[in-house]
Amino acid sequence: MRNATHAMLVAAAPQGNLDAVEHLVKLAPETGADAVALVGDLTGDRDKRETFRRVFEILGRGRLPTFFVPGPNDAPIGDYLREAYNVEVVFPFLHGVHGGFAFAPGYVVVAGMGGTLVDDVDTGRTEDHHLIYPAWEAEYRLKVLRELKDYQKVFLFTTVPAHKGLDIPGSEVAAELTKTYNPRLVVTYDPAVHGMRHEKLGKSLVVFPGSLAEGDFAVVDLNSGKIETGNVR
């Protein structure tokens, strides 16, 4: 395993396409990436628990530090948590960072919040049929990052941070978290964004890697911000 994380392979929304995940894992060594980040939706319309298990097992074969969060449709949360726990016991380099964080090689911390973040403070959390959270919950769960000021950060969100340069709605709280902690990279996804796209939000690079279900992925250099796109097909 490399001593530091310089380049990260990022992908989103496999939607249960196990072949695409398999091809991504096989291609990873050729990209020069030191770590992998995958944001939901992970399962699509397939059997949730079984698909979580298959996706995580495939990721485990890659032997790279890998970080992931579930998407809005990856409910119920119990199935996700059960399979994430099981696979992390077998493959300790896999890390679910939904509402939490994990360390990548070197002084890099990866944190995230899956599901849909809703800025309305009166919104209740839903985890049975869709994953929906009041955005303040993300603020609360990620406040531990205040103690990790010396670490380079990567954020994984399945709700787009609000950005005046985007023509799609986003979360003001996700944007505020980004501006507060200044991660080098934010990996996110929205089905309205087709193909790879990137924007700057303050000092942070926000990357939409496209849909892995359609074969898209990207490799991001955390030092230079250089992005290379690819397709598993």
pLDDT exceeds cutoff 90 at 169 = no
Q: Please report whether residue 218 resides in a domain.
A: yes
Instruction: Please tell me what DSSP assigns to residue 92.
Output: T
Write out pLDDT tens, residues 172-187: 999 999 999 999 999 9
Instruction: State the average pLDDT over residues 60-69.
Output: 96
Write out pLDDT tens, residues 177-218: 999 999 999 999 999 888 899 999 999 999 999 999 999 999
Boundaries of domain holding 28: 7-231
Q: Quote the CA–CA distance of 14 and 55 in Å, as a whole number.
A: 9
pLDDT exceeds cutoff 50 at 228 = yes
Q: Please report whether residue 27 resides in a domain.
A: yes
Provide CB contacts within 8 A for 146, sequence distance 6+: none
**What pLDDT, on a 0 to 100 scale, did the predictor assign at position 88?**
96
17, HSE (Cβ side, Cα atoms, 13 Å) = 20
Q: Please report whether residue 1 resides in a domain.
A: no
Q: How many domains does the chain have?
A: 1
pTM check: above 0.85:
yes
Question: Which range has highest mean pLDDT (2-11, 146-155, 164-173, 193-202)?
Answer: 146-155
* Structure confidence at residue 3 as a pLDDT band (50, 70, 90): low
pLDDT exceeds cutoff 70 at 2 = no
pLDDT exceeds cutoff 50 at 1 = no
Q: Please report whether residue 75 resides in a domain.
A: yes
Q: What is the distance between the terminal CA atoms of the chain, rounded to a whole angstrom?
A: 27
Q: Please report whether residue 93 resides in a domain.
A: yes
Provide CB contacts within 8 A for 96, sequence distance 6+: 67, 68, 69, 80, 81, 84, 88
Q: Please report whether residue 206 resides in a domain.
A: yes
Write out pLDDT tens, residues 79-124: 999 999 999 999 999 999 999 999 999 999 999 999 999 999 888 8
Q: What is the CATH number of the domain that holds 117?
A: 3.60.21.10
Mean pLDDT for the chain? 94
Q: Please report whether residue 2 resides in a domain.
A: no
Q: Quote the CA–CA distance of 173 and 143 in Å, as a whole number.
A: 13
Helix (H) or strand (E) holding 28, with range, is helix 18-31
Q: Please report whether residue 170 resides in a domain.
A: yes
